[in-house]
Structure 1
Amino acid sequence: MDLIQYTLPNGIRCILKRVRSAVAHCALTVNTGSRDELPSEYGLAHLLEHSFFKGTTHRKSYHINCRLENLGGELNAYTTKEETVIHTTTLKSDAAKAVELIADIVFHSVFPQKEIDREKTIIIDEINSYKDTPSERIFDDFEDMVFAGTSLGHNILGKKGSLMKFTRDDLLRFIGRTYNTDQMVFSMIGNISEKRFTELCNRYLGETASHPRTFERDRTDRYVPMTRTLHRSSHQAHCIIGNQAYSLREEKRIPLSLLTNLLGGPSANSLLNLVVRERNGLSYTIEAGFTPLSDTGISTIYFGTDRDKVDLCIELVNNELEKIKRGEISPRLLNMAKKQFIGQMAIAMENNEGYMLSAARNYLYYNRVETIDSIRRKIREVSLDDLTEVAQTVFGGNLSTLIYK
């Protein structure tokens, strides 16, 4: 069924996909993330996400946590570089409770300082845990390199020292500046009628006053490739090779997504997995990733290996990249890669929650959600020349490398 679209007078955009299911998923996606923090606010967007659960004008923290969980449902949230998302999963009969709860914590939170201070200790524990996981930490350090000097070039969690200084007033000031109604998308997927959907949106989200955005995000600075080795106390060595890449608004993101999946996607027959793991036994995990953002993107190749095998792994990766840059992909392999990618995407779209979150992000930036048929067509239209071009651009002589040893 087609997507139902509805915009409230205050500018909040609402989308519904009707499916036959006993379960309903809801989310409020806000176009605000760590990128929107001022230098004195690093870590504030993530602290705010945690603090939404600490009390409203209607509920204590305990009642927020129990509201849906007592019904078998779930309430959760996450923060990225560019978005904050609060999402729920409930039985369809409890969908109204979910919408009301999301609206309550986003628009009526009171942020008790005592609760904020307690939550800071939780985030510090999260920071410590993250520091003990080099396979995750290296991605943040790599982004700091690639986006050095910009609002994208700092960790979402923030630093312990600055985190401890934040107050309730800081949270309220950040909300007042960045939580703009024209930068919000409320999404739902479930067996809900259009009439019921619009009633819920008007009742719980429509009461919020219009508050359009008045600032623009800073542009990314000129990229300077670099190579860096950091010494970490870990058993393995870890390595990331990558570059800035295409944004959400560039059509070349499609062939780069296809190339990324061919190189190091989740399938065991990805090119890098075959050459580095299967043929040479050098790495348990090797993968490629591409994250398009609103005005830029980042493309990465990551692997973990023994300390004395890093150079050999890099050589093997570069050999595969050189073949692709020379156009040495057979028509048969390209056709297989397209079928594989289309199949993976179709299967992923069967996950209703994942589809809802992805659709909301698309609607946030494009004001539309592409159909699976449109996506299939664009993937099928990718040519060998397209793959060669993006490989030469993204994996040319301007790569950065970060190694943990």
Structure 2
Amino acid sequence: MNEFTTYRLPNGIRGIHRCVRSNVAHCALIVNAGSRDELTAEYGLAHFTEHAFFKGTQRRRAWQVNCRLENLGGELNAFTTKEDTTIHATTLRGDFPKAAELIADIAFRSTFPDRELEREKEVICDEINTYKDSPADLIYDTFEDMLFEGSELGHNILGGKKALARFDGNAIRRFTARTHTTDQMVFSSIGNIAPQTVEAVADRYFGRQPATVRTTHRTAPDVRPPFERTITKHTHQTHCIIGSRACGIDDPRRLPLALLVNILGGPSANSLLNVVVREKHGLSYNIEASYTPYTDCGIVATYFSCDHGNTEQCIELIEAQMRRLRTETLTPRRLSMAKKQFIAQLAISLESNEGYMLGTGKSFLLHEEVDTMEQVYAKIEALTAAQLAEVAEEVLGVDSKLIYR
């Protein structure tokens, strides 16, 4: 790990830094707490908490939080997933300490004033309405809710308006006290800053927070039988997801599955689904396959939209390509090309220093280590056609379907 510098503050907060030549610095506090850590009455609270962080602290009012870095030309933002909450900032290199101080201020000293929270609820209600107006986005959450029904993962991140109306500052404080513990935090950074300086800045602004340890534990969702469901949405097009449960982040099958999904329906124009469904038959403008790993499980999903009358043909073509991957071993040439393509896509995606910083921080949060890109490339090159066929048989064989019409 000589590409990275890592450290641990006395209160348990971990840090990881990568030094690069750039006038711009990126940093983030990544917390291992998301919507799957909510109690039943708290659905939507992790996302609401993320918004509430920007509504004022013991030192700053809401407008001062929002203007602190923006007045310097920088950016401050945050996002929530099912498993983590991230507050991140981008600044010029010389303003890095200001970014770290601001992130620490809103993460540990937010006051959650009632008036600001009530106003923000209206913003989130509008966000929920916008989401509901996008069937291409909504269908993913609906499908995942069905696939993981009854589990921590079986509810969407935004939550509902009725629950949102009940939330207040005390609810946020209870949630963060239970889940935003220092042993579940990583401060990740990247920029042309000496590692010793980064650690000193982190210690100054994050190290004084009292040490806390999470006492709750996540439970892996039970395996549910496949399902097929059609929901009437009166949309101009049919929207469909075909998918199944898959392996999690720590599973050794994760990498061969990621390569397999990229071959099936990755972003390139020569993916199997794009070639067959879009280019050869002209049935769909939007078609893709994705793999989303969580800590203890995952989901593989193929999504497409098409004219209502073409739905069944699209499904037949997709299932034929999945069957092909299960029954036909990739030739050495095809496998070599797929590996090269996948490696190039990863390399290009990591040209973004911000993306690199967020990815390494999440990896360090979960695994206490980060592979260099050379190590990742070597692991991809070592994959065999037999491994991909085995994973295809396990994951692409039994699928569930959800259709919006």
TM-score between both structures, scaled by the size of structure 2: 0.99
What is the Cα deviation at residue 228 of structure 1?
Answer: 0.6
- Determine the structure 2 residue equivalent to 1:178: 179
Answer yes or no: is 1:136 the counterpart of 2:99. Answer: no
Q: Is the 8 A contact 1:31 1:83 kept in 2?
A: yes
The equivalent residue for 1:395 is: 396
In the alignment, is the contact (CA less than 8 A) between 1:327 and 1:385 conserved in 2? no
CA distance, structure 2, for counterparts of residue 25 and residue 298 of structure 1: 30
Larger CA deviation: 319-328 vs 183-192: 319-328
Distance 1:106 1:306 in 2: 47
Shift of 1:332: 1.4
Q: How does 1:5-404 map to 2 (within 5 A)?
A: 5-396=6-397, 398-404=398-404
Which ranges in structure 1 are unaligned for 5 or more consecutive residues? Answer: none
For residue 118 of structure 2, what is the amino acid of its counterpart? Answer: D
Q: Which residue of 1 aligns with 2:4?
A: 3
How far does residue 218 in structure 1 lie from its aligned partner after superposition? 1.8
Q: Partners in 1 of 2:269 and 2:328 — Cα distance?
A: 23
Unaligned runs of 5+ in 2: none
Note the C-alpha offset of 1:198.
1.1
**Cα offset for 1:58?**
0.2
Tell me the distance in 1 between the aligned counterparts of 2:3 and 2:216: 33
Q: AA paired with 1:140?
A: D
- 1 CA distance for matches of 2:110 and 2:386? 52
CA deviations on 1:79-102 (whole Å, 9 max, x unpaired) are 000000000000001000000000
Paired AA for residue 10 in structure 1 = N
In the alignment, the residues of structure 2 paired with residue 131 and residue 355 of structure 1 have an alpha-carbon distance, to the nearest angstrom, of 31
Q: Is the 8 A contact 2:329 2:386 kept in 1?
A: no
The sequence identity of aligned pairs, in percent, is: 53
Counterpart-to-counterpart distance in 1, 2:134 and 2:199:
44
Structure 1 residue 38: deviation in Å?
0.1
- Secondary structure of the 2:119 match is helix
Secondary structure of the structure 1 residue equivalent to 2:166: coil
After TM superposition, give the deviation of residue 328 of structure 1 in Å.
4.0
Kindly provide the amino acid, as one letter, of the partner of residue 141 in structure 1.
T
TM-score normalised per structure 1: 0.99
Residue 308 of structure 1 and its aligned partner are, at CA, apart by 1.1
- What's the CA shift for 1:222? 2.2
Per-residue CA deviation, residues 348-378 of structure 1 (Å, 9 max, x unaligned), is 1221000000101111111111111111111
| Distance across 2 between alignment mates of 1:2 and 1:338 | 24
- Separation in structure 1 between the aligned mates of residue 298 and residue 11 of structure 2, nearest angstrom: 31
Distance 2:330 2:223 in 1: 32
Quote the Cα distance in structure 1 between the aligned partners of 2:67 and 2:364: 31
CA distance in structure 2 between the aligned counterparts of 1:270 and 1:288, rounded to whole angstroms: 9
Alpha-carbon separation, structure 1, partners of 2:63 and 2:252: 46
SS at match of 1:164: helix
CA distance in 2, matches of 1:287, 1:199: 45
Please state how far the C-alpha of 1:223 moved relative to its aligned partner.
Answer: 2.3
For residues 24 and 12 of structure 1, what CA distance do their matches in structure 2 show?
20
3-state secondary structure, aligned to 2:10: coil
**In the TM superposition, what whole-angstrom CA distance separates every residue of 1:29-58 from its partner, at most 9, and x where no partner exists?**
000000000000000000000000000000
- What do the CA deviations read for 1:139-172 (whole angstroms, capped 9, x no partner)? 0001001101101000100001111011111011
Structure 1 counterpart SS, 2:322: helix
Aligned-pair distance for 1:234? 1.4
Q: CA deviation at 1:109?
A: 0.1
Where 2:188 maps in the other structure, the secondary structure is strand
Secondary structure in 2 aligned to 1:78?
strand
Pairwise CA RMSD of aligned residues? 0.8
What's the CA shift string for 1:356-405, capped at 9, x where partnerless?
00101111111111111111111111111111111110011x21110001
Q: Secondary structure of the equivalent of 2:255?
A: helix
Distance 1:74 1:274 in 2: 40
Kept after mapping to 2: 8 A contact 1:327/1:384: no
Tell me, in whole angstroms, the C-alpha distance in 2 between the residues paired with 1:4 and 1:223. 42
CA distance in structure 1 between the partners assigned to 2:317 and 2:9 by the alignment: 53
Q: Work out the CA distance in 2 between the residues paired with 1:119 and 1:151.
A: 25
Residue type at the aligned position of 2:404: Y
The CA deviation string for residues 51-71 of structure 1, in whole angstroms up to 9 with x for no partner, is: 000000000000000000011
Whole-angstrom distance in 2 between the partners of 1:100 and 1:37:
28
